[in-house]
Structure 1
Amino acid sequence: MDSTRRITALEAVPEESTFVFRVVDTDDDANEVEEAILVRQDGRLECWLNYCQHFTHIKLDKGTGAAMRNGEIICENHGAYFEADSGVCTFGPCEGAYLTALEVAVDDGDVYLTDEGYDLLGPGPIPTDEVDRASSSNVEF
């Protein structure tokens, strides 16, 4: 595998939370930086863009791992639940919507971005000096 597309070691992806990293959409002329999350559960690994389908400016993982319960990722702003393995919203204001998937692969204990539509920028959230005031309230229900 291409070492420039290595996201992290598989063992660094928590079982009951998420691992956040940065990508850039190569199909987008604006080359906007986005965040993606890895979810590892029951031997499976999935990758989703890091935003709620209700309001896409709300992140599921705010930099310390997304909340999870019974195999579902929880949007702490809206109370939406997303199945970690399929990305479908099973409860909340965006019920029936799907998280946006990115392709990843595991090779020799490491996780690689294999989605040709994105370039890997590195681990961690997008650095920002701004305070995300919306991320800790439920006023957007």
Structure 2
Amino acid sequence: MADRYRLTSVETVREEGSWAFTVRDEHGGDEEVLLVPCEDDADDAVTAWVNRCTHEAQRLYREGVGAVVRNGEVVCPKHGSMFDACSGYCDNGEAADTTLVDVDVTVEDGQVYLTDDDATFLYEGLASDDDGGDGPSSTSHLQF
């Protein structure tokens, strides 16, 4: 088991609706990760997903906005695909029949810990935007 690193509290994830951090993956690359509440599980459950839609590598979590989570699903801001917050599976839109890449976390006494053997915590928040933009120009009919 990996050394665990305390990320945040379950209460913070629930209050903010999502929470992001950046890790170094097993290949030496930096990956953004988002935490979201998982309503299908215990009251203190959260899940962690790589911050990337499976359709076009679109960020699901953006600084200043967070991740859009509606009815237990994480919504891609570009095309509107919706991923189950607990399983990461998408059954609609451009990303249908795909599943988000998971990152192992553990909840203990209301605290969320990174426990993924293939990820090393770097910092809270996202990597800087190289393009200077603050998000996609949405082609979805959804408005946030």
Under a length normalisation based on structure 2, what TM-score does the superposition of the two structures give?
0.83
Could you say which residue in structure 2 is the equivalent of 1:126? Answer: 127
C-alpha change, 1:88 and 1:24, in structure 2 (3 Å) is same
CA distance in 1, matches of 2:137, 2:30: 23
> How many residue pairs end up in the alignment?
134
- The 8 Å contact of residues 62 and 135 in structure 2, kept in 1 or not, is answered as no
Alpha-carbon RMSD: 2.1
Question: What is residue 112 of structure 1 aligned with on the other side?
Answer: 113
How far did 1:15 drift? 5.6
Task: Please name the residue that 1:12 is paired with.
Answer: 12
Report the Cα distance in structure 2 between the residues aligned to 1:41 and 1:16, rounded to whole angstroms: 14
Alpha carbons of structure 1 residues 39 and 90: separation in structure 2 relative to 1, 3 Å: same
- Between stretches 78-87 and 37-46, larger displacement belongs to 37-46
For 1:1-141, what aligned pairs fall within 5 Å after superposition? 5-14=5-14, 17-26=17-26, 28=27, 31-42=28-39, 43=43, 44-56=45-57, 58-63=58-63, 64-128=65-129, 130-132=131-133, 135-138=136-139
SS at match of 1:136: coil
Q: Which digits, 9 at most, give the CA deviation of each residue in 1:35-79, with x for residues without a partner? A: 0011113322111100000001x1000123111211110001011
Once the two structures are superposed, residues 81-135 of structure 1 have per-residue CA deviations (whole angstroms, 9 ceiling, x without a partner) of: 1000110012111101000011100123221110101101121111235323761
**Alignment gaps of 5+ in structure 2:** none
Runs of 4 or more, structure 1, over 4 Å off, are none
Using the TM superposition, give the Cα deviation of residue 14 of structure 1 relative to its aligned residue in structure 2, in angstroms. Answer: 2.5
Give the TM-score normalised by structure 1: 0.85
Do 1:24 and 1:118's aligned partners in 2 also have CA atoms closer than 8 Å?
Answer: yes
